[in-house]
Structure 1
Amino acid sequence: MKHANSTSHLSVKERAKNAVQDEFLRNAVRFTTDRLRNRKQAVTESFGQWEVWRERGEQIRAHTIANLDAYLAQFIERLEAVGVHVHFAVDSSEATDAVLSIIQSKKARKVVKSKSMVSEEIHINQHLEANGITVVETDLGEYIIQLAKETPSHIIIPSIHKSREQIRDLFENAGATQLTTETRDLTAFARRTLRSEFLSAEIGITGCNFGIAETGSVVLFTNEGNADMVMNLPPTHIVLMGMERILPTLADLEVMAHLLPKSATGQNVITYMSMLTGPKRSADRDGATEMHVVILDNGRSRQLGDEQFQAVLHCIRCGACLNVCPVYRHMGGHAYGSVYPGPIGAVLSPLLEKGEQYSDLPYASSLCGACFEACPVRIPLHDMLVQHRQKLVASGHGNPSERMAFKGYENIFAKPGRYRLSIKMARKFLSPLAKEGKIRSSFGPLAGWTKSRDFPMLPKQSFREIWPSLKRE
């Protein structure tokens, strides 16, 4: 499987330019995000008092992250009390080593997985396959992109960019015959194929939507039921979770059980909310006999205590910000070059991965604030994007010509006389580029703007110039 950053040598602007030229991609992403956004609006309006629920969600996540050390310690204590093996990983390397060590200790050769963004973050599939271990994704969307050797392009719907025809072709390459493009036929093939994988796998790997500190429970939200098979049929179950995915109590889970599905897919309730507290007990009829939880830091702890960015750890990975973002809706997820796309990815990726790789992602935003309005726990992503940009400029990043332009802007607006003179000069300079009252330019700094937007010509007289006559009248 190719990494999300396989085109990391390109800037986000170059990746976006390539993406917007793919008409099918744009239409597919727009269609699906429109549907998800409309469903969310309908279900939250009928539910009522949505802003009250958002505020409560924000309070729970803010309290949890502010006291994360205490709740993590309580969670780990409860996990160990019910027989769970806990592994804390400082970075992705430690996490993959922990998983590989567990699998090798069992002499296992096959792993089945349910959807997990953390597993994508640490590229666990590639590491396991490099060590001769077969990994099978069992979430339908993840199974599709695994066959395509791609990475997810959406947090909730990984294969949002694939057509039914493309999916049929992938399934036929995987052994299907005489498939139609009907959803029923495509899912039936996936079920038949994956059933034997569930039964023959020695290891099951899942993600974790929430860990409950009060009980040591792991909670998973799914719509397909595959996660239940993954964590119950193989004898060993491994949970991968980010260290921030903690909730203090089961009462807090009730709030998230409303916020997450409504924000993610516009569902009133999630199809499956599975709660697991420890491995199989002697009285249980099924379940894994051994359970491991790998808790990942990987840069998250650096945000603790940071007034600007600590709130990014409040995220519950619903993907609602992607569905309203005008940038994501035009270029899809792969153009971000990161495991986490959209506004949350533009904020989170540069924080988790220091250096140049994702430094330009904060500019992949219009700063419209739609992401904040959509976020069920009220994370001010638009403010964080501005703060990222400020830090980049302060550290010397940015286009030299852009810095010169803003310096000129500062000098011009510092004196009224300079401002008036600059307006007169701009009229003369822009006049040859104007047509039907709008400026058109195929070169220079205006070209990028006028290619896709209207740039009205400056009026013959400014308000300040006509004000004396208006005042006399």
Structure 2
Amino acid sequence: MKVESQNFIALADIALADSQVQQAVRKGTTNAFNNRIKAIYGNGQEHGEKLRQQAAEAKRRALRNLPDLLEQAEQTLTENGFTVLWAEDAEEARQHVLRIAREHEGKRITKSKSMVTEEIALNDALIAAGLDVVETDLGEYILQINDEHPSHIIAPVIHKTKEDVRRIFQEKIDMPYIEESQDMVAFVRKKLREDFLSADMGITGANFIIAETGSLALVMNEGNGRMVTNLRRVHVAVVGIEKVIATLEDYGTLTQILPRSGTGQAMTVYTNIVNGPCHDGGPEHLYVIFLDNGRSRIYANEKYAEALACIRCGACLNACPVYRSVGGHSYGWVYGGPIGAVLTPLYTGLENAKPLPHASSLCGSCKQVCPVDIDLPRMLLDLRYDLVKEKVDNKWQLGLRGWAMGMQSPLLYGVGAKAARMGMKIMGDNLPSVLGNWTDYRDFPDFAPKSFHEMWQDRQKGKLQ
């Protein structure tokens, strides 16, 4: 997927001007935010915070020992019959999948929801090679047939209304007019069942890799993951190296906090632990492709290694006032919201995502709701510091220097204040350039008739009592 994060402001403008996107995103995030509170704190504040603490400890323990756990996972997975492959970058991961498809004569591929395959643009590579690829998660399927990308980690079509989805189905898969949502789902379910039964190969991500047992863990609500993994002779899992955890006990903790934080459920509908090939009914060939793609570089940086603890629940997106206003596509790459504002610059390079560290009010809601207590506000500030230190954002530096000069000179400050008041009288709420990003959607506050300095001078002259 092409990185367009440099266009954050322009993309945000488009989202802010789309009332349907505003309505859909606000409704979806509000429901998820409220459901999370009920699910985590339903048994009391103390119980919920203890679960968060245990989950945070499980992920921190995994990160501290990540190199050793990766070696252990390779050994235990191999002993269980998996073939373990390593990919330094997106291209190597794509080539692994293409080679596996050729070796097993896979022509038709079904996929379950996976952010990491979005990250490496796997679908584009498979289709370019002449393979037929079908997304089987309902939200991902809607986006695929409409040639879009996900806008939320958990709810990829959070930006779509029911009416949007109906129109897409009618235009793309010849669905007749259907009123009720459940009937639309039934129509698509029947069509996807044909794809499941005719596919040669299944591709998934993984929520966790359990090093202790050599297991691949998948949690989902639609059941498509089981169809993708169990009906095919070949199952390929593309997994970021940070998804490895130490023990089955840690998995038990994390699989409690993940659905509560992501969808407000005590448990997802389907929880799968894949322990190896099954010749009597299930995949005969199992592959795990461990993807680096910049993760080792992040891991080596003490300031940002904590970001790899993310379990992709989407809670920070639902709590973030910026994401709730502009949606996920504004961030210009795979990951949106506060975690995307941190991960995208780290994965793609700060120079390719300069606006994202500033796409935050620093209210702290993201840290407050994070199930593993990642300090996202601190990392956003560190990224802003890096922008200044590395002189990546020269316009911002020039602006700050101009502001500093004005604040240090009473003459310049006075002239600037008078010019600003005069400009407001002339332009009103239609300010130019960057300031227009504010006045396009909200009223600019009126300037005081006189500055404090002017009022003080009047007082000294006896004009103000």
Decide: shared fold, TM above 0.5: yes
Residue 103 of structure 2 corresponds to: 105
Bigger mean CA deviation after superposition, 233-242 or 450-459: 450-459
Task: Please list the CA deviations of residues 331-361 of structure 1 after superposition, one character each: whole Å capped at 9, or x if unmatched.
Answer: 2111111011111111101111136332332
Q: Does 1:407 align with 2:401?
A: yes
Residue 385 of structure 1 corresponds to: 380
2:143 to 142, 145, 169: 145
Residue 162 of structure 2 corresponds to: 164
Q: Distance in 2 between matches of 1:55 and 1:214?
A: 22
Q: Distance in 1 between matches of 2:74 and 2:448?
A: 64
Q: Distance in 1 between matches of 2:435 and 2:199?
A: 58
Task: Please list the CA deviations of residues 82-111 of structure 1 after superposition, one character each: whole Å capped at 9, or x if unmatched.
Answer: 111000100011101111111100111111
TM normalised by structure 2 equals 0.91
Change (3 A) 1:409 1:278: same
Q: Does 1:184 align with 2:173?
A: no
Deviation of the 1:434 alpha carbon: 6.2
Check the 8 A contact 2:5/2:354 in 1, yes or no: no
Deviation of the 1:446 alpha carbon: 4.8
Deviation of the 1:406 alpha carbon: 2.1
Residue 463 of structure 2 corresponds to: none
5 Å-filtered alignment, 1:72-471, equals: 72-280=70-278, 285-354=280-349, 356-400=351-395, 402-410=396-404, 418=409, 428-432=418-422, 442-443=431-432, 446-451=435-440, 452-458=442-448, 460=450, 462=452, 465=456
Deviation of the 1:229 alpha carbon: 1.0
3-state SS of paired residue (2:176): coil
Bigger mean CA deviation after superposition, 422-431 or 343-352: 422-431
TM normalised by structure 1 equals 0.89
Q: Distance in 1 between matches of 2:86 and 2:333?
A: 24
Residue 9 of structure 2 corresponds to: 13
Deviation of the 1:131 alpha carbon: 1.0
Check the 8 A contact 1:433/1:440 in 2, yes or no: no
Check the 8 A contact 1:427/1:458 in 2, yes or no: no
State the Cα RMSD in Å.
2.5
Change (3 A) 1:405 1:174: closer
Check the 8 A contact 2:5/2:353 in 1, yes or no: no
3-state SS of paired residue (1:308): coil
Change (3 A) 1:310 1:459: farther
Using CA pairs below 8 Å that are at least 6 residues apart, which structure has the higher relative contact order?
Answer: 2
Q: Distance in 2 between matches of 1:32 and 1:11?
A: 25
2:35 to 33, 39, 46: 39
> Match for 1:457: what amino acid?
F
> Match for 2:328: what amino acid?
G
Bigger mean CA deviation after superposition, 312-321 or 45-54: 45-54
Q: Distance in 1 between matches of 2:434 and 2:101?
A: 55
| Larger helix percent | 2
5 Å-filtered alignment, 1:22-33, equals: 22-33=18-29
Consecutive unaligned residues of structure 2, counting only runs of 5 or more, are 461-465
Check the 8 A contact 1:433/1:441 in 2, yes or no: no
Check the 8 A contact 1:33/1:323 in 2, yes or no: yes
Q: Distance in 1 between matches of 2:137 and 2:21?
A: 21
Deviation of the 1:428 alpha carbon: 3.6
Question: What is the identity percentage for the equivalent residue pairs of Structure 1 and Structure 2?
Answer: 40
3-state SS of paired residue (1:457): coil
Consecutive unaligned residues of structure 1, counting only runs of 5 or more, are none
Change (3 A) 1:412 1:426: closer
Q: Distance in 1 between matches of 2:65 and 2:191?
A: 44
Q: Distance in 2 between matches of 1:274 and 1:324?
A: 29
User: Could you list the runs of 4 or more consecutive aligned residues of structure 1 that deviate by over 6 angstroms after TM superposition?
Assistant: 420-423
3-state SS of paired residue (1:275): strand
3-state SS of paired residue (2:235): strand
Task: Please list the CA deviations of residues 364-402 of structure 1 after superposition, one character each: whole Å capped at 9, or x if unmatched.
Answer: 2222222111211111112111211211222222243x4
Bigger mean CA deviation after superposition, 225-234 or 381-390: 381-390
Check the 8 A contact 2:56/2:373 in 1, yes or no: yes
Deviation of the 1:34 alpha carbon: 0.8
Task: Please list the CA deviations of residues 216-255 of structure 1 after superposition, one character each: whole Å capped at 9, or x if unmatched.
Answer: 1111110011101111001111111100001111111121
Q: Distance in 2 between matches of 1:406 and 1:351?
A: 25
Change (3 A) 1:423 1:47: farther
Count of equivalent residues: 455
> Match for 2:327: what amino acid?
G
Deviation of the 1:425 alpha carbon: 5.0
